[in-house]
Amino acid sequence: MRHKRVVVTHYGGPEVITIIEEDIPIPTAGELRVKVLAAGVSLPDVLAREGVHPETPPVPYTPGWDLVGSVDQLGPSVMDLQLGETVAAMPIHGCYAQYVCVRQGEVVPVPKGLDAAEAVAVVLNYSTAYQMLHRSAKAQRGQRMLIHGASGGVGSAMLQLAKLAGVEMYGTCSEQAASVVRDLGGIPIDYKQSDFVKEIHRLTGEGVDAVFDGIGGDNLWRSRDALREGGRVVTFGFQSKMRAGRMASHSEGRHPFRESAELGGFIVRNWFKSGRKSMVPYSIQWMLRFKPAWFREDLLTLLELLKQGRIKPLIAQRLPLEEARRAHEMLGEGGVLGKIVLLPNG
């Protein structure tokens, strides 16, 4: 039996994305084969394609951090799973395919009846938002917080989860996305028309308890300025280095750990700044590696919230696997509201 799989042939722009047809993979001991019903498309996929994400695989490789699918075949020694059962996984790469083999320990059961596209949005985006909110910022009811890119995949998830936690959430966004942010329970701040630091202090007085910053670079200092004393910047990305979905400068070459080292420099420099304001990094892949039980617990919690209808992922587009390149182009163009999802099997 044959299947289709997306391949990044070399690091670069969306044009490096191709599709191949090959024999479907056979699960080895401890693995199961999943028929992929939905694969998420996210900024880390774009950064890996550029060759700059710390989790960048060597080329050629198949992108895709997260998937939801049905168990198609069990490898030797795999127990406690049934054929046809719906599962979720975050193998970090390899999900842009019709069939994927994953280790049994990587999968989490998905409640029956859930939409696969909405469920896959929970795996990376909502887990990231949930862990930053509760594990990193240790949110408490009545606090005030700010997230940048509030209408995107992680941002829209954060707004919904903050509302459930009783946190007053502000979100930077474009004018066009303000109504979406407001509908999700956030207070929009148009980053193009106003200075978000001044606006935060105008609205709150002393500043917010936490800022979630996926922009990085010098924006971290501005996020710090939006904090009250004792507040915390949780940093989780470096979008400031991107221009139209590409790294702003290619002259320095591609070094997957350069941006992480630069972030470490910001955190060290923060120690010497005045005021009791902290800056902490968040990385879902490191959380997954060092606290796998937390990831599983949090994902099961989120899937249950989805089943109960207490969260509703915002799906920007549902695209066939053949439009993976277009999905990356859309992320590069900006203005995507919510999560782009590939449907490899229709």
What gap in Å lies between CA 127 and CA 62, rounded to an integer? 22
What gap in Å lies between CA 147 and CA 130, rounded to an integer? 13
How confident is the prediction along the chain (346 residues), in pLDDT tens digits per residue? Answer: 999 999 999 999 999 999 999 999 999 999 999 999 999 999 999 999 999 888 999 999 999 999 999 999 999 999 999 999 999 999 999 999 999 999 999 999 999 999 999 999 999 999 999 999 999 999 999 999 999 999 999 999 999 999 999 999 999 999 999 999 999 999 999 998 999 999 999 999 999 999 999 988 889 999 999 999 999 999 998 776 666 666 655 544 555 556 666 666 767 777 767 778 999 999 999 999 999 999 999 999 999 999 999 999 999 999 999 999 999 999 988 889 999 999 999 8
Which pLDDT does position 269 carry in this prediction?
A: 76
What gap in Å lies between CA 7 and CA 2, rounded to an integer? 16
What gap in Å lies between CA 15 and CA 328, rounded to an integer? 10
Which pLDDT does position 243 carry in this prediction?
A: 64
CB 179 within 8 A of CB 196: no
CA distances from 17 to 10, 13, 94 (A): 9, 8, 13
CB 148 within 8 A of CB 170: no
DSSP strand pairing (86-89 vs 108-109): antiparallel
Which pLDDT does position 304 carry in this prediction?
A: 98
CB 118 within 8 A of CB 341: no
- Which amino acid appears at position 295 of this protein? F
What phi and psi, each to the nearest 5 degrees, are found at residue 26?
A: -110, 125
What gap in Å lies between CA 211 and CA 41, rounded to an integer? 24
| Domains, the chain, with CATH or none | 2-120+287-343 (3.90.180.10), 124-286 (3.40.50.720)
CB 125 within 8 A of CB 40: yes
Which pLDDT does position 263 carry in this prediction?
A: 62
CB 111 within 8 A of CB 329: no
CB 141 within 8 A of CB 115: no
Which pLDDT does position 306 carry in this prediction?
A: 98
DSSP strand pairing (31-41 vs 67-74): antiparallel
Beta partners for residue 87, in sequence order? 69, 109
Which pLDDT does position 317 carry in this prediction?
A: 96
∠ Cα 193 197 202 (to 5°): 90
**309-312 long-range contacts, Cβ below 8 Å, gap at least 24?**
310/164, 311/122, 311/126, 311/157, 311/160, 311/161, 311/164, 312/118, 312/160
Show the 3-state SS of the chain: CEEEEEEECCCCCHHHEEEEEEECCCCCCCEEEEEEEEEEECHHHHHHHHCCCCCCCCCCECCCCCEEEEEEEECCCCCCCCCCCEEEECCCCCCCECEEEEEHHHCEECCCCCCHHHHHHHHHHHHHHHHHHHHHCCCCCCCEEEECCCCEHHHHHHHHHHHHHCCEEEEEECHHHHHHHHHCCCEEEECCCCCHHHHHHHHHCCCEEEEEECCCCCHHHHHHHCEEEEEEEEECCCHHHEECCEECCCCCCCCCCHHHHHHHHHHHHHHCCCCCCEEEECCHHHHHHHCHHHHHHHHHHHHHHHHHCCCCCCEEEEEEHHHHHHHHHHHHHCCCCEEEEEECCC
DSSP strand pairing (227-235 vs 242-243): unpaired
Which pLDDT does position 252 carry in this prediction?
A: 47
